[in-house]
Amino acid sequence: MTVKEETRELTLRQRHGRAINAVAELLRRRLSVPNIYLEPPSSLVSADILAVDRGGAGDLHGVEIKLERDLVPFGGQRKKPSSREEINDQAKEAYETFNAKYLQNLRAIHRQVMSMPVHYRYLALPADSFHRAFSDLAHFGLFPENGVGRLGFILITDRQEEPPAADLAVVPERFRVDPAKLKAIETKLLSKSRPGPDIYVRI
């Protein structure tokens, strides 16, 4: 007798992990012999992925991944409305609360990715959330105040049982990096005396 295995819904952590793999594969294909670190120490760089081009001797590429649950805030339960007027008032209040929390989340995400001490900075988002998020993030600024660099965007497409797809939507431009922060990453993470990258090409 054949027992059909019940398909379980993936947890947010599992979905996030699949997205990390998809983005890492994108960087592996696009960069030149990269060393890729999955979830590097947050004390050095607050990113889900750090890729170092040219066998660990080139530019640093940092990617932060935010899925739908990270973007959309979930509030408490509201009481069931009893009249049309109350429905309208509650709908307006709910929308204003949602929008305020949504923009607050985006602002925090924007600060995080724009402060990564790497040469190329990316934000990876679900494909179906990209257009609204990109429009709102553009108000916060895709360029730093010093004018050098531009935030890049990667789209994550959920393909159910198939691995998710990661596609580059906005090509990043090179940022300046604080030499002291760069030195800390090189010394504490990229040094040959440290544990090696999670993904690399044997040469």
Is residue 202 domain-resident? no
Instruction: Give me the domain span that covers residue 182.
Output: 12-73+82-190
Is residue 184 domain-resident? yes
| pLDDT, tens digit, 9 for 90 and up, residues 137-180 | 988 999 998 899 999 999 999 988 899 999 999 999 999 999 99
Is the distance from CB of 166 to CB of 155 less than 8 angstroms? yes
- Whether the pLDDT of residue 101 is over 90: the answer is no
Q: What is the DSSP string of 121-146?
A: EEEEEEGGGHHHHHHHHHHH-SS-TT
Helix or strand or coil: residue 55?
helix
CA distance 154 to 139: 18
Q: How confident is the model at residue 196 (pLDDT cuts 50, 70, 90)?
A: confident
What is the pLDDT at residue 8? 67
Averaged pLDDT for residues 181-203: 87
Exposure string for 125-135, b = 16+ CB within 10 A, e = fewer: bbbebbeebbe
* pTM of the predicted protein model: 0.85
CA distances from 37 to 79, 150, 151, 186, 198 (A): 47, 22, 20, 13, 5
Is residue 195 domain-resident? no
- With a CB cutoff of 8 Å and minimum separation 6, the contacts of 157 are 126, 127, 164, 165, 166, 167
Is residue 62 domain-resident? yes
* Structural domain count, the chain: 1
- Whether the pLDDT of residue 4 is over 90: the answer is no
Q: How confident is the model at residue 79 (pLDDT cuts 50, 70, 90)?
A: very low
